[in-house]
């Protein structure tokens, strides 16, 4: 499983993995409750491999941020909850990514990242962080 197959759907909690593609969208499975649902291609969907976090110097891919959390937590659940206070979340994120842009990365973003990491960890999907996308000529066509 790669981050290319894991989605965040606007207005729905948690993460979803793609089960199959349909004519007008996807069938996805929730990582929270394993329920399957059909998602229209016009829904506001974010693929985890395409998300980046603003730092003071660059945009760091979400994969790299999640790796930093994994290294800090020794591949275990985070020491804080996504439901903790704004100050606790920001303090934690500063430990993980000291140069994140505090003006453009909101507490709600940090909350999502912590929740996403914990969902991936809970479902033994942290190995998805290691897979580099190698595009072959066949895949480009």
Q: Which domains does the chain have, with CATH numbers?
A: 3-48 (2.30.30.730), 51-129 (1.10.10.1650)
pLDDT in tens, 33-67: 999 999 998 889 999 999 999 999 999 999 999 99
**pTM beyond 0.75:** yes
Interval 2-29 mean pLDDT: 93
Torsion angle (degrees, nearest 10) of CA 38, 61, 137, 8: 0
DSSP annotation string for 114-136: HHHHHHHHHTT-GGGGT------
Phi, psi of 50 (to 5 degrees): -100, -5
User: What is the predicted pLDDT for the residue at 44?
Assistant: 92
For residue 2, pLDDT over 80 is answered with yes
User: What is the predicted pLDDT for the residue at 1?
Assistant: 78
Tokens of 96: 């993980």
User: What is the predicted pLDDT for the residue at 132?
Assistant: 55
pLDDT in tens, 92-140: 999 999 999 999 999 999 999 999 999 999 999 988 888 655 543 444 4
């Amino acid at each position: 499983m790669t981050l290319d197959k894991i989605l965040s759907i606007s207005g729905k909690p948690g993460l979803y993995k793609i089960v199959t593609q349909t004519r007008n969208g996807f069938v996805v499975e929730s990582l929270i409750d394993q329920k399957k649902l059909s998602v229209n291609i016009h829904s506001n969907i974010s693929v985890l491999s395409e998300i980046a976090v603003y730092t003071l110097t660059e945009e760091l891919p979400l994969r790299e941020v999640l790796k930093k959390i994994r290294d800090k937590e020794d591949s275990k659940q985070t020491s804080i909850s996504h439901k903790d206070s704004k100050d606790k979340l920001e303090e934690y994120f500063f430990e993980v990514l000291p140069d994140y842009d505090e003006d453009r990365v909101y507490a709600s973003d940090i909350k999502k990242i912590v929740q996403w990491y914990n969902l991936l960890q809970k479902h033994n999907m942290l190995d998805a962080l290691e897979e580099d996308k190698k595009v072959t000529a066949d895949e480009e066509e």
